[in-house]
Structure 1
Amino acid sequence: MAEALKAEGNKAFSAKDYPTAIDKFTQAIALDTNNHVLYSNRSAVFVALSDYQHALDDANKAVEIKPDWAKGWSRKGAACRGLGDLVGAHDAYDQALKLEPNNSQFKSGFDAVKRAIDSEARADRVSGDPTAGLGGLFDDPQFFQKLASNPRTAALLNDQEFMTKLRHVKDNPNSMGEEMRDPRFLQVLSVLLGIDMQFPGAPPSGQEEPDEEMPPLVPDPEPEPQDEETISKQKAQAAGDAEKKLGNDFYKKRQFDEAIEHYGKAWELNKDITYLNNIGAAKFEKGDYQGAIDVCEQAVTEGREQRADFKMIAKAFARIGTAFEKLGDLTVAIENYNKSLMEHRTPDVLAKLRTVEKAKVKAEKDSYISSEEAERARELGQQKFQEADWPGAVEAFAEMTKRAPDDPRGYSNRAAALIKLMAFPQAVQDCDEAIKRDPKFIRAYVRKSQALLAMKEYNKTLDVLAEAQEQDDKGAHTREIEQQQQKALEAQFSARVGETEQETADRIQRDPEIMSILQDPVMQSILQQAKGDPSALQEHMKNAHVRMKIQKLIAAGVIRLGR
């Protein structure tokens, strides 16, 4: 849910619906209080609203949760700058650059703050007219080149009227105060000082785009001249991506060896762990699971050193887990799936983890199965039972159910021991397990009826015995079943001895099963017929189902015989 709310917040931010974005990120934080990205994203929205104090609070929380996360320090830099704390902004951007020295956005923010600090320092050295110290800016030999190279002022150089004013101020800086009413001079000073002079509500210069591919708040500035190192990295990236594309083409054709060759060349040209992950995917698809593990472990190590995107590291861990799953090492597979989820939580990896956890439990159970050990446990259980060591018998028969989970005898025998311990509900559950494994196992029905009879569940006892009769095709257990039925009926008769007719009527009204029998149209017809011809009742009792219902009515006192 937190991920879904974050996505909604990002969408609202993109649409510049800042109140909704704040609300979504706040709800997400309530569900996932230790997610540094959520605080960072909300900080970006607060900056867009010029609410710099709240932006700073969220940025501080982000770096508190993840101190080595450079983006969080850049958020703090933007918030401090909005509050006018240039020193704090300088220190925050400096920390961001220490963590990611080559990040151009962090460099831009740091340079902008540094220029602002230098500008304030120059202004502090000037006394008297507040604009007097600015006159020196117009003596810069690259004065016009700076204006021409910046898109905000380049067009002004084509305005002859403005150029006349500009030359006048350049020749006579003391006249600047008169011209400051012209907003175009603010643009000129902004470029010369290296700081932004914007209307209230605009975000400070150097604001980078928020996380999760949210769009920038302001148009990207004109790129500064690139040094040789930057150009070299861009060329390496382009060359690596070109090899990756060739690898992808072979991968789609399932020509994995060729794909691996091109992904390897991509890695040699540009140390991006995406290429290593791609090699891992190709090795996995060709069945080289150990090879996939090795290269993905390399991706994790390299990714840590490069401070790569945590999503890419999560992907490497997930593939390691899948490879170990294929190799049958479910324990290590689970470890790596958990590592992946710690880096970045995704539904597909979570589903894989749950599946492997279930498979591991089943594998452990299957590995414990042994017919020989089950037989030893059964013999031990019988010995304990004969010695009247009921707890010992329960323990032995429990071991039998683990060693032979499909053998109904283990559950039925344990039920017999549980009945001796008067643990009747547990005995009923064990009998149900035995019947589930073998519906023809009559001994389990009989033992279940014994437990129910002890619980004074007379009607349920009779129902279980009726089921036993249906399953006893050859009638091998007829006598035992009928004896148990007679015990249940006698117990039910005994339970109502001494009742008045009114007490019997009240009890019948409270018995839902007896009332259900009485409301059965077939039984109503039989009972009506029996009133006129009692001998007809005997004829109907030849049907097993009808006989059982009539016996229940007799036992409950609805039908009275022998008067």
Structure 2
Amino acid sequence: MADQKRLAYSIIQFLHDQLQNGGLSPDAQESLEVAIQCLETAFGVSMEDQGLAVSQTLPEIFEAAAGKEPEHIRTNSEPITPSEDDIAEAERLKTEGNEQMKAENFEAAVSFYGKAIELNPSNAVYFCNRAAAYSKLGNYAGAVRDCERAIGIDPNYSKAYGRMGLALSSLNKHTEAVVYYKKALELDPDNDTYKSNLKIAEQKMKETPSPTGGPGGFDLAGLLNNPGFMSMASNLMNNPQVQQLNDSYFHSMSGMISGGHNPMGAAGTSPSTNDLASLIQAGQQFAQQMQQQNPELIEQLRSQIRSRTPSASNEDQQE
């Protein structure tokens, strides 16, 4: 059964990569999402089960079976010495990838870095840069793999450890992220981003779910005990405009429920576009009222949320 789970994980990993980078139509993407959900349910695995990963990706295994040795097998068993022309072209492709990153064309950046790797697979920077692009696309498993390759090539490459920590944090693997952030700081002790991200990862390691706590350790209990917030909430509830928004909200909800709709989409037919639009509009107006009533408190809440999110500021600088 363990081997079946590993195989299922490799297939899901491949489908995730295709979903992010395959250039598929919306219908095809939806079909892949359904396939991923079915496989995860059937085999009890998910992309967070990094322990099920094998040394080769599914395309690499296929290439080997088809008679073409995968990229990292070639580099490990028979190191390739690229020609000067290949090195120069790989650098050009890497630079183009960096430009695509600046333009936030992350899928294109992945493609350029991949081509650079094909020409010069012994350059750790190319793998590390592609890891950053993968993270921007939400493909954190791909980022982890590329960081592992970069570290394998250059064990003293601090940025690879930092980006590995960021990817692991995004996968909620904070204990592992702490290890990599510490190594990054050991190699680059003056890096403020690593210091900040390490503190966040260490804090999240210690956190346990609380009945009064919100997602990500958000201090809901403290918020409810905040006199400024409660005063603002009381004023808002007594505001005729807000009461009108509440009436509109509950009217929309009642219409959805009485019409046989499930607001959560778990059963029955989906809410109509008009119903959802009304809810979104009511929520936006309510938020505007809160902002007008007490902008200082709203900024405090935003700061609290920002302080609990790992930063990728210096990780965005491609080499």
TM-score, normalising length: structure 2: 0.46
Structure of higher CA gyration radius = 1
Q: TM-score, normalised by structure 1?
A: 0.27
